[in-house]
Every structure is written in structure tokens, then in C-alpha cells.
Amino acid sequence: MAEIKKKKISKSSLKEAVQLYRFIKPYRIEFYLGMVALVGSSVTTLMFPKLLGDLVSAGSSGLLAEKINSIALLLGVLLLFQSFFSYFRTFLFVRVTEKTLADLRQFTYNHLIKLPLFFFEKRRVGELNSRISADVSLLQETLTTTLAEVVRQLIIIIGGIAYMLYVFPKLTLFMLAIIPAVVVLAVVFGRFIRRYSKKAQAEVAESNTIVEETLQGIQSVKSYTNEFFEMARYKNKVQEIAKIGIKGGVYRGAFGSFLVFGLFGSLVAVVWRAASLLSSGEMDSGNLISFVMYSGIIGGTIGGMASVFTRIQHFLGAIEDLFDISREKEEDLKEVVELPANDVLKGTIEIKNLSFAYPSRPDTNVLNDINLKVERDQMVAFVGASGAGKTTITALLYRLHELSKGQILFDDRPSSEMELSILRYQMALVPQDIFLFGGTIRENIAYGRSSANEEEIISAAQSANAMEFIEGFEEGLDTIVGERGTQLSGGQRQRIAIARALLRNPRILILDEATSALDSNSEKLVQEALKTLMKGRTTIVIAHRLSTIKSADQIFVMDKGTIVEQGKHEELLSMESGYYKKLSTLQGIEQNLI
């Protein structure tokens, strides 16, 4: 999981946080009511010490029992109001938070899934998943508790100090002259201690790295007789950790002593001043009780502000990460319910002067000046060594990347002028690296067309030669394939992927090493099924094994991003010094060795 960074509180960070309001806005009435309940809860908290002091004063001054009972009754009513406000504050904030975060999660996921492929090529899946899980969970904590804590603390601190200055001006001013100085020194000293702790943690992490690297590379360590070198290296590191730890212990001890002296010293000074006021008759025992309670409540609130401040920094960091993603440009996608007649592809593909470099490597062309034409209903093949650019061409047909130079035309229309969803809806890809979802076989096949019925799913599975092994499972089509299809063999996964593509009934079919994981018998059956399927649609095959593309209408031989040869299987074999001829000879030798 990606670490959630802290961000300093500034105008720009607060402006980003305000953007969150657009997700709260639909539920603003409940939110405002929750704020009213929060204010009510805070105000009743401030009233409690005052009434409790009045109760003590009434008792010590010998007032009538009715007066004492009325104050006690008022305290009971106050507690009921506080309980009422606390409940509804929590209830309303939780409702608003859950609804808001559901919308925010949906917005973030919808935006992520619409982003172009190059965005995911430069980001880790774990990092992106953290945006939806860890970051949004942090927002949940902030909206439910942290925001309420900030408002409550501000009301209590400002309201409490203002009341104390009004009722106990001399004692409050005396307290404010002492305690803030102690608190400031404690905060500065505490930050210094935390820096030392972080330094110690960093050294421990480095020592763990030494252990991990040494044990992982134990063969190299022993091969080069470096055991004593590694022992010395680790010894130096642990001794450095011990030095930092001892020095940190000295500072922590000094910090603890300072806190004891400062806080208890402040307490003694305030009590001494209060005793002086009591003896002169400027305060009574009830006022002293109220003052002590207010001091305790305000002091505890101030003490808790540091952790709240840290949570706000994390919150701002999470907001920044989420909104950074939201600023990424989406692909222009639309849900395809029915294909417009004017957008139905006939199947002709033409590539003109195509050159391409990946965004991460803009100075290195993967494709150079590609020109070719595929007629409708043809089967064409791309062959060549790994890295020749074959798979890149299929990615560009799907418009997974924007072209660097040149054009791709479908039925004489530039792909850039076609709606992206309409174009992709009429294509199907069976890649070399098959990905299956963790559900059932039925769900994975139906992913090609979610509206397909049982009969169509079975027919697609039969055409892909998949029913043979599916019927061997106890639960048939309802068999769980496991995460990424780990419960199935490579050949079984490949056949399910082919069935998914068959169910799609695409106008353009792309097979990227689609039969590479099949044994000879399964490959033969699937090739027969594919031969029937290819009739009436344009098919592009990428293959290493030349035996699978003998019947192709055209074969394009690629090397280092360029087309070096093209023609039918027999034509290419007739070129004595041709690249295709060399590939064919090499594969023939390999088959003889096997």
C-alpha cells in the first residue's frame, strides 16, 4: 500500500480541500444539521463546569435545598441535551460521510477506468488501489471525526478562555502567562525528540536491508568468502543504532523531567494564586471548582490538537493525491447500446506512414514508417522476433495510444475521427498473456458480451474447444477459476479467452499468440474452429510459430519496427535469403530436435 503523505496547511491545500464540498453538497442539509448538533454539544460541554461550580457554591453558602435541587435538575437536563446533540451529531455526520465517500469512490473509480493506457503504464496498481482504499478511508475518518474535533476544540478553547477571562480575569491571566510558554517549549522539544526517533528508525531499516540482502545473496557471500566483511558491515550499523538510541534516551529523559517540572510547577503556581484569591474573598470554592474544570477541559483539548493537526495534514495529502488523478485527461468513452448503422465497420484496415514511440521513451521509435493495407475479411499475420513491434500495431489499432506520426484508417476513415467506444466495440483481442477474472467460467466467457444467453455461451465454448474440459469439472460453467484464472492450466485459460472473443462476434478479430499455450491436439481443433470463425470478418494474427499462419492471405514480416517482407507463406519461403525463410528453417530444426 502506498504511504499517505502529509501536506503543509496552506491556502492552496485548503483550496483543494474545499473541492471536496462538491461531493458533500447533495447532502448539505444533513451536514448543516450535524454542524448545529456539534455546536450544541460543544456549548453544553462549556456550560457543565459553570453549573457544577454553582452547585458547590450553593451547598457551601447554605442555600435552601430547593435551590440546590433546581441546579442539580438543570445539570441533569443539560446532560440530556448533551447526549441528544452528541448522538445526532454522530448519526448525521456518519450518514453524510458514507454517502459522500460512496460518491467519491464511484467518481474516482469511474475516472480511473476511463484513463488511457499510458497512465497505467507509469503507475503501480498498488498505488492506484491505495487512492480508492487508504486515501478514501482517511477522508472517512476526517469527515466523521476529525472535522468535528476541529470545530469542537475551537469552540471549547475560544469559548472557554473567553468565559474564564470574563468570570475569573486575574486567575485566568496568571494562568495564560505561565502555561502557554510551557506548552510551546514542550512542542518544540517534542519535535526534536521525534526527529531523533525517525533517525533511529531509518538506521534500523538500513540494518534490516543489510540482513535481507545478505541472506538473499548468501550464495554470492559464500562464493566470495565475504562472511566477515558482512559481519563487520552489520556490526557498524547496529553500533550506530545503539549510539543514536542512547542519545535519544538522554533527550527523552530530559524531556520527561521538563514536563514533570513544567506542568506540575505551573499547577502549583496556579493553585497558589487561587489560594491567595480564596483567602482574600475574591473567589469561592464553587468558582475554584469551575476554574479547575475549565482548565482541565481546555488543557486536554489543546493537548489533543497536535494529533488532530497531524490527521489534517494526512487528509490534505490524501485529497491532493485523489485530485491529482482527477485532473488526468480521460478517454472520450460512451456506453454502446446499439451500433449506429453509419458506424458499422466493413473490415478494411489501412496503415499509412505510421511511426510510433511510447510516451515513456519519446526518442526511441518502436515502429518506423509502416505502410500496409488489409482488405475486408482477410486473414493477415505479423511475424518476427520479440520486440519487432507486432503487438504495438494491435495496440494502436485499438487506439490504446495516440499515434506519433501517420494514420490508421478503417474503411477509409481515420481512426482519430471515429468514436473510441464504437471502434473498440467492433474488435476483439485474444492476447498472449491471458487475464481471467476470479469468478466463474461462465462469467469470464460472458465478459465478451454481457447480454449473451446460456445457449450462446455454450456455443462459443464449444467452438473454442473449451467444453471438453469444462464438462469435466463437477460444476461445469459455474466452476470458479480463481484469481487471474490460477485454477486452470494455461491452455484452458487460452481457450476460455478465445470463447470470450467468439461470443463478442467482432468485425475485426486480433489473435496475439492466441494458440501459444495449447498442446498440438487442442491447437488443431481450435485452428479448425477459428478457420470457420474467420469467414466473414477481418482477422489479424500475431504468431511466433509459423505453422499456425500458413493459410494467411498476407504475412507481414517485421524486424526492428519495420516491415522487411510481405506476401503469402509460399511466396516468402521462395525467397532464398529472406528473413521469413530463416525463421522457418530455424523452427524446423527446433522441431526435429524435439
User: How do residues 319-349 score in pLDDT, each as one tens digit?
Assistant: 777 777 777 787 788 877 778 888 888 889 9
Residue 437 burial (CB count, 10 A): 12
Q: Taking residues 26-31, report their average pLDDT.
A: 87
Per-residue burial over 509-524, b = 16 or more CB atoms within 10 Å of its CB, e = otherwise: bbbbbbbbbbeeebbe
Residues 6+ apart with CB under 8 A from 104: 20, 23, 136, 139, 322
Domain boundaries, the chain: 1-167+305-331, 169-282, 346-426+507-517+536-594, 434-505
pLDDT at 227 over 80: yes
Reduce the secondary structure of 16-81 to three states and give it as a string: HHHCCHHHHHHHHHHHHHHHHHHHHHHHHHHHHHHHHHHHHHHHHCCCCHHHHHHHHHHHHHHHHH
Highest mean pLDDT among 15-19, 424-428, 483-487: 424-428
**Whether domain 434-505 has CATH 3.40.50.2300:** no
User: How do residues 134-161 score in pLDDT, each as one tens digit?
Assistant: 667 667 667 767 777 777 778 877 887 7
Q: Could you say which architecture CATH assigns to the domain 346-426+507-517+536-594?
A: 3-Layer(aba) Sandwich (3.40)
**Strand partners of residue 558:** 384, 563
Q: Could you say which architecture CATH assigns to the domain 1-167+305-331?
A: Up-down Bundle (1.20)
Q: How high does pLDDT run on average in the chain?
A: 78
Question: Whole-structure pTM over 0.85, yes or no?
Answer: no
**Strand partners of residue 354:** 370
In 543-580, which ranges are E strands?
554-559, 562-567
User: How do residues 108-121 score in pLDDT, each as one tens digit?
Assistant: 888 888 888 777 77
pLDDT at 591 over 60: no
In 260-366, which ranges are E strands?
349-356
Give percent of the chain with pLDDT exceeding 90.
Answer: 2
User: How do residues 301-326 score in pLDDT, each as one tens digit?
Assistant: 766 666 677 777 777 777 777 777 77
- 1-167+305-331 and 434-505, same CATH topology: no
Alpha helices in 114-146 (DSSP H): 117-121, 125-130, 136-141
Q: Residue 106: pLDDT band by 50, 70, 90 thresholds? A: confident
C-alpha grid cell for residue 108? 474516482
pLDDT, residue 410, reads: 92
